[in-house]
Amino acid sequence: MAYFPDVDTIPFEGPGTKNRLAFRHYDPSATIEGQSMKDLMRFSVAYWHTFRGTGSDPFGGGTLQRPWDDGSDSVENALKRVDVAFEFMQKLGAPYYCFHDRDVSPEGASLAESHKNFDVIAKRLKEQQDATGIKLLWGTANLFSHPRYMHGAATSCNADVFAYSAAEVKKAIEITHELGGENYVFWGGREGYMNLFNTNMKRELDHLARFMHMAVDHAKSIGFTGQFLFEPKPKEPTKHQYDFDAAACLNFLRANDLMDHVKLNIETNHATLAGHTMMHELEYARIQNALGSIDANTGDLLLGWDTDQFPTDIYLTTQCMLVILEQGGLAPGGINFDAKVRRESFEPIDLFHAHIGGMDAFARGAKIAAAIRADGALTDIVKNRYRSYDDGIGAKIEAGTVSFADLEKYMLEKGEADANESGRQEMIENLINDYL
């Protein structure tokens, strides 16, 4: 059964093509810094947006035409969506996908029924994975949609909700493991608070840490060796999310002895909502050996909320790829399009245009970043900027062999610091533009 009868496998045709259903830059077998683009990017389709998105927004209901979907929460409908998803991903040439438990499989009348539904769906996912070679980048649990999670999940004031969340995550890790998932993500759907007058922040954070340790312990007990990932987001739905940004997440992980078990899944629109650039968040995580995976999308600076648009800005993708290439790739993480088509783009074909654009934008960013790196265009600039630490007093500071008293003596003798040099920001920005 073809759910996308008008679309063949999306070919790579190069930048000159007029075919809108072709890649201009993403050539899976082309190599960048010794890796195929396929292995370097590890592109992933987000099941929730692409196969469960309806186009609804706070002002109106769904607009998206999905002729295969009867709109029900039946297991049959969910099974059909799996077939649709794999046809789509295969035609697109996406090697990975990601899901929340409740996106792929319907919530039942009880936890036991939800588990049962999940088993049925997982079986079909496995069959489709085996038939197509498409793999699971990560699984996660939706701990935010159901009303029971109104106060959060692991940070809920209700201990039964904590227990329910634990049972849901336990199952989600098991299914992720069964499907060969390479990572497991925690995004704190409602892990935060609205008002401190009714909140015990210390207890909530302690509970969240306890929850993650239990997840790590359970993974160990079932032999799941995938990478755990924590996804920062500063706001939405709560006013203060505990997972605000990379710095807050890493502080939490370090304070709770979780750094050896959990890395970060950095999302572009979450970075910008936190008042950071994506490049800042990626680099902040990378230098602490905590850059695990990315959720690729973009926000709209004029709207200022989590619009989850597909990334098309080459400047943005170049910045991302500069950091990703510096790390040598993201494996076992990848580039997951946590992005949705606009509600005005309501036809199924728009799903292809959106993903093709995102993949091409990243492929082009990768080529540009690799060219910048091949020329060493920034390497020498940065290296030279810090050369005062390469020997003399700077080397002693870095080696930790001098004290405040030593530095006072040094400066009293010298009298004044060496003259500063220009940061050349504008020249460097011009230089980057030469590569675009």
**Rule CB under 6 A: is residue 267 a binding residue for ligand XUL?**
yes
**Rule CB under 6 A: is residue 314 a binding residue for ligand XUL?**
no
**Rule CB under 5 A: is residue 338 a binding residue for Co ion?**
yes
Q: Report helix, strand or coil for 336.
A: strand
Among 168, 295, 306, 360, binds Co ion (CB under 5 A): 295
Q: Is the dihedral of CA 140, 146, 152, 155 positive or negative?
A: negative
Q: Give the separation between CA 212 and CA 195, rounded to whole angstroms.
A: 24
Among 87, 168, 281, 295, binds ligand XUL (CB under 6 A): 295
Binding mask 94-133 for ligand XUL (x = CB under 6 A): ------x---------------------------------
Q: How many residues bind ligand XUL (CB under 6 A)?
A: 10
DSSP string, 357-415: HHHHHHHHHHHHHHHHHHTTTTHHHHHHHTGGGTSHHHHHHHHT---HHHHHHHHHHH-
Q: Is 261 a catalytic residue?
A: no
Q: Give the separation between CA 24 and CA 11, rounded to whole angstroms.
A: 9
Choices 175-183, 198-206, 219-227, 287-295 (CB under 5 A): range interacting with Co ion: 287-295
Which of 194, 272, 258 minimizes the C-alpha distance to 228?
Answer: 258
Cβ proximity to ligand XUL: between 299 and 372 the closer is 299
Among 103, 204, 231, 283, binds ligand XUL (CB under 6 A): 231
Q: Give the separation between CA 389 and CA 384, rounded to whole angstroms.
A: 10
Task: Assign 3-class secondary structure to 193-230.
Answer: ECCHHHCCHHHHHHHHHHHHHHHHHHHHHHCCCCEEEE
Tell the smallest beta-carbon distance from residue 67 to ligand XUL (Å): 25
Count other C-beta atoms under 10 Å from residue 277's C-beta. 15
Cβ proximity to ligand XUL: between 87 and 338 the closer is 338
Q: Give the separation between CA 290 and CA 230, rounded to whole angstroms.
A: 10
Which of 288, 296, 279 minimizes the C-alpha distance to 340?
Answer: 296
Which residues are registered as beta bridge partners of 197?
none
Binding mask 165-194 for ligand XUL (x = CB under 6 A): --------------------x-x-------
Choices 85-93, 142-150, 197-205, 291-299 (CB under 5 A): range interacting with Co ion: 291-299
CA angle (166 as vertex; 71, 116 as ends), nearest 5:
45
Binding mask 398-427 for ligand XUL (x = CB under 6 A): ------------------------------
Q: Give the separation between CA 55 and CA 71, rounded to whole angstroms.
A: 13
Tell the smallest beta-carbon distance from residue 362 to ligand XUL (Å): 17
Which stretch of DSSP H or E encloses residue 247? helix 246-255
**Rule CB under 5 A: is residue 174 a binding residue for Co ion?**
no
* 311: preceding bond cis by omega (within 30 degrees): no
Residues 255-284 that bind Co ion (CB under 5 A): 267
The one of Co ion, ligand XUL, none whose footprint includes residue 281, by CB under 5 to 8 A per kind, is none
Point out the residue whose Cβ comes nearest to ligand XUL. Answer: 187
Catalytic residue among 103, 243, 306, 338: 103
CA 189 to chain centre: 14
**Rule CB under 6 A: is residue 340 a binding residue for ligand XUL?**
no
Catalytic residue among 25, 27, 49, 100: 100
Cβ proximity to Co ion: between 21 and 311 the closer is 311
Tell the smallest beta-carbon distance from residue 291 to ligand XUL (Å): 16
Among 140, 156, 317, 318, binds ligand XUL (CB under 6 A): 140
Tell the smallest beta-carbon distance from residue 231 to Co ion (Å): 5
| 144 within 8 A of 101, measured Cβ to Cβ | no
User: Looking at the chain, how many residues does it have?
Assistant: 436
Which residues are registered as beta bridge partners of 252?
none
Q: Is 418 a catalytic residue?
A: no
Choices 69-77, 110-118, 290-298, 299-307 (CB under 5 A): range interacting with Co ion: 290-298
Q: How many residues bind Co ion (CB under 5 A)?
A: 3
In the complex, the residues that contact ligand XUL under the rule CB under 6 A are 100, 140, 185, 187, 231, 233, 267, 295, 306, 338
In the complex, the residues that contact Co ion under the rule CB under 5 A are 267, 295, 338
Report, as residue numbers or ranges, the catalytic residues.
100, 103
